[in-house]
Amino acid sequence: MYNAKEIESKWQKIWEDGSFYEPSDDFSKEKKYILSMFPYPSGRIHMGHVRNYAIGDALARYYRKKGFNVLHPLGFDSFGMPAENAAIKHSIHPRKWTYENIDYMKKELYSLGFSFSKKRLLATSDAIYTKFEQEIFSKMYEAGLIYTKKAQVNWCEHDKTVLANEQVEDGKCWRCGNEVVQKSMDGYYVKITQYAQELLDSLEELKDKWPSQVLTMQENWIGKSKGCEFKVKIKELDKEFSVFTTRADTIFGLSYFALAPENDIVKEVLNTNLIDEKAKEEIIKLQNQSTRTRQQSEKIGINLNIHAIHPLTNEPLPVWVANFVLADYGSGAVMAVPAHDERDYEFASKYNLNIKKVIECENLPFTNDGILINSNEFNGLNSSKARDEIISLLSKKNIGKEVINYKLRDWGISRQRYWGAPIPIINCKNCGKLLEKQLPVLLPDDVSITGEGNPLEKHHSFKKCKCPKCNADASRETDTMDTFFQSSWYFARFASNPLNWDKCAIDKEANYWMNVDEYIGGIEHAILHLLYARFFQKALRDLGYLKYDEPFAKLLTQGMVLKDGSKMSKSKGNIVDPDEIISKYGADTARLFILFAAPPQKELEWNDSALEGAFRFINRLYDRALTLNVCSFDDINHSALAKEDKYARLKVYEALKKADDVFTKTYAFNTIIAACMEALNALNNAKDNKVLSEGFAIILNILEPIIPHVCSELSKELFDCANNKNYEIKEEVFISDELKLGVSINGKNRAEFIVAASATEEEIIAKAKEVGAKWLEQKQIVKEIYVLNKLVNIVVK
Ligand code: ANZ
Ligand code: ZN
């Protein structure tokens, strides 16, 4: 009887003791670097993890079997907020919480038989990881790739703390319910915008290797737009401001200007009597809202009671402040053309502003390109031509110029929290900001985490230090880094020899292993993580750490695991715990179910009966295998076999043929599993011992990456070997005694027919004409061509 527990713990021990899953340092071998995104140590693994790692493990085991040198590491993305939340809620130290979770999850993952390298296991909160992360930070800082600037953060006045976006609920603090305000604070920024164009250009390299949807998301996030920036003068103040537009062709439809609440002109107006107190209060309220809140609420505006001069018609136009204008895009000011822009239209309708049609159209707003009307000398031009001409007119007049804008913003990495990698900077009142010389700068353990303020700020000694330059009393930076900083280079760290991990951030061996050949993870990381990692790769290349331009050669985004139609989550109470599945059915059943239930890219609906089906299949495979009378099968005489045996072989080799395609291209593991099931059914009717032995050897070989324990066990039992050889396709299996051929007339497929494989060409053509007689009536045959083993092509007049 199949005993999953016994078999699985036996094989896990064999694999572990034999260090089977450590990559070799024979760099002459062809390599495959298979990486599933590393988990956050939240406490227990969930079905999403099982799916993610079952896919990666199947690929890793497949390539090992094919003779590749395989790197398949695992780590933990172990800094971040949940550890601090646990500290606040359960008064447990974040470090303790994190490392206990890691220990537990490690056990869970190993109990699934995943073939991770043990020597490369890392947690990003390890001191040694922090040390080299701070080194990378320092190199970037020196290269000008990291800088500081003032920026808006969410601030709770009651808790005296900065809040992450997800800690702001309906504009209120998640802990105390106080209204959240925007506060300007110094922060550290990574100059990812310096690489905007390259990040866009090299998406080309990833075409057909990454899901196209992800490429589009990256492209939109970078958001390149070509447009025009021009200046306008204000009538009532001796001031001007710039606007950015991608639609210079609609300039004659301009009917008002809209400014971001942060625009300098708005601040200027707040100091005058041009608007009343009530209007001023409303503006300040807008300024205190986060960009997110502003964008989620309806369009709101306040008339500033000033006018700006249209650059071509000299008409004075009203200037408003509006919540939909972004402070940090373009110049934080919009030339509003309500007839041809949705947002402007909504806004103008609400506040009764002028709407002027300047592109030929039926209904407003009309936002496409078209033919210009009501636009003086530009009437009749199409939009694209008009844009060029209007931009060149504006630049001739010295009012404007062509500019390229990116939506991509520099990446703010300062977090005012404890459980993160400290930013290695010292602030000296004489010398300014200086890099720490002694790395790593580690977190003190004796902190009290209450949710109020930044624990590092309040610590008795962490801040105290001497300036490395003038030796004056100085203070250590208390910001820690965004956890995305850690996940932006872990893959390069894995690629370095662990024996060098205490010597450098990334060693030379990394260039052998990089890039990641197969990267597997959730679609939720389609934008930020992948973009930051791509940026890091390029920056690390320019800093001399690595050679390649792109970190992930291929990307597979796995679908979600659902139950009753919605994502499995604790809050919905629809979690299925992998541990329970493993203890009831075993790891192989869990792996088989998850890879069989749906193609990996698609959503997977949980199904208890399919899980039991997977278990039954393994049982059948096991029971049947042990009844075999195994013999050597090198010399099967195919043509002498009985019909059932031939058919069984055909099914076995069909599965084998499909396997390469599945593991290297389509990842449709469900289809290869189905093919093995079919083959196994066919083998039920087979009688020949050689055929049966061969069939089981091949099926166990194909399925080993998916259900490794039971396949290893049976291979050992039956064949006394690891059964990891490469079975060759035997063409004779596919040649049947009969041929199925097509008849095509003037290139159109018309019919099919069957002839004996021994038939001559003449006989075949004669038969084809007979079958195709209906289409040959009253036609003259010009040509007859027999395409070997495929079809007869008849050309008629
Ligand atoms: C006039 C106009 C007319 C516009 C029209 C669009 C349609 P993309 O293409 O996404 O880059 N814009 C400029 N700065 C902005 C800001 N800080 N906040 C919000 N919107 C801003 O968007 C460029 C367009 O977005 C610009 O072109 C501008 O509106 C608006 F029929 O100018 B347009
Ligand atoms: Zn100093």
Q: pLDDT (tens digit, 9 = 90+) per residue, 625-641?
A: 999 999 999 899 998 99
b/e burial code for range 97-111 (CB count within 10 A of at least 16 → b): bbbebbeebbebbbb
pLDDT of residue 647: 92
Q: Does domain 736-796 have CATH number 3.40.50.720?
A: no
Interval between CA 148 and ligand 1 midpoint (Å): 28
Burial class (CB in 10 A: 0-12, 13-18, 19+), 513: buried
Interval between CA 148 and ligand 2 midpoint (Å): 18
pLDDT of residue 455: 93
pLDDT band, residue 662 (cuts 50/70/90): very high
pTM for the model stands at 0.86
Q: Show the beta-strand stretches assigned E in 389-472.
A: 400-406, 411-412, 414-415, 425-428, 432-435, 464-466
Domain parsing of the chain, residue ranges: 4-126+484-567, 138-191+411-483, 224-406, 626-733, 736-796
Q: Which residue has the least CA distance to atom 27 on ligand 1? A: 245
Interval between CA 279 and ligand 1 midpoint (Å): 25
The pLDDT tens digits of the residues spanning 566-576 come to 888 777 888 88
3-state SS track over 575-586:
CCCHHHHHHHHC
pLDDT of residue 28: 96
Q: Does domain 138-191+411-483 have CATH number 4.10.860?
A: no
Query: Which ligand is nearest to the Cα of residue 229, counting in written order?
Result: 1
Write the DSSP symbol of residue 326. -
Q: Which helix (H) or strand (E) holds 94?
A: helix 94-110
Distance between first and last Cα of the chain: 69
Interval between CA 475 and ligand 2 midpoint (Å): 10
Residues 6+ apart with CB under 8 A from 465: 426, 474, 475, 476
The mean pLDDT of the chain is: 94
Neighbours of 362 (CB within 10 A): 5
**Cβ atoms of 345 and 366 closer than 8 Å:** no
Query: Which ligand is nearest to the Cα of residue 407, counting in written order?
Result: 1
b/e burial code for range 151-168 (CB count within 10 A of at least 16 → b): bbbbbbeebebbbeeebb
Say whether pLDDT at 286 is over 80: yes
Q: Which residue has the least CA distance to atom 12 on ligand 1? A: 334
SS3 245: strand
Handedness of CA 581, 47, 60, 705 (dihedral sign): positive
Annotated binding site for ATP, which residues?
570
pLDDT of residue 159: 77
pLDDT of residue 568: 84
Cα distance between residue 476 and residue 708, in whole Å: 51
Ligand 1 pocket: which of 228, 334, 344, 347 to mutate (most atoms within 8 A of CB): 334
Give ligand 1 pocket residues (Cβ under 6 A): 225, 244-247, 250, 260, 325-326, 329-330, 332, 334-335, 337, 340-341, 405
Average pLDDT rounded to a whole number, residues 709-721: 92
Which among 217, 233, 221 has a CA at the least distance from the CA of 265? 233
Query: Which ligand is nearest to the Cα of residue 247, counting in written order?
Result: 1
Q: What is the secondary structure of 580-626 as a DSSP string? A: HHHHHH-HHHHHHHHHHSS-TTS-EE--HHHHHHHHHHHHHHHHHHH
pLDDT band, residue 326 (cuts 50/70/90): very high
**Cβ atoms of 701 and 675 closer than 8 Å:** no
pLDDT of residue 721: 77
The pLDDT tens digits of the residues spanning 742-775 come to 999 998 999 998 887 778 889 899 999 999 998 9
Cα distance between residue 130 and residue 450, in whole Å: 24
Average pLDDT rounded to a whole number, residues 703-707: 97
Pick among 3.90.740.10, 3.30.460.80, 1.20.59.10, 3.30.465.10: CATH of 224-406: 3.90.740.10
Cα distance between residue 52 and residue 621, in whole Å: 25
Q: Which residue has the least CA distance to atom 32 on ligand 1? A: 245
Per CATH, the number for 626-733 is 1.10.730.10
pLDDT of residue 167: 77
Say whether pLDDT at 565 is over 90: no
Atom of ligand 1 nearest to the CA of 405: 11
Query: Which ligand is nearest to the Cα of residue 426, counting in written order?
Result: 2
Interval between CA 332 and ligand 1 midpoint (Å): 10
SS3 146: strand
pLDDT of residue 17: 86
Say whether pLDDT at 703 is over 80: yes
From residue 609, give the alpha-carbon distance in Å to each of 188, 471, 620, 706: 52, 71, 16, 19
pLDDT band, residue 591 (cuts 50/70/90): very high
Atom of ligand 1 nearest to the CA of 260: 17
Cα distance between residue 148 and residue 424, in whole Å: 13
The pLDDT tens digits of the residues spanning 202-230 come to 999 999 999 999 999 999 999 999 999 99
Interval between CA 486 and ligand 2 midpoint (Å): 29
Domain 4-126+484-567, CATH class in plain words: alpha beta
The identity of residue 61, as a single letter, is: R
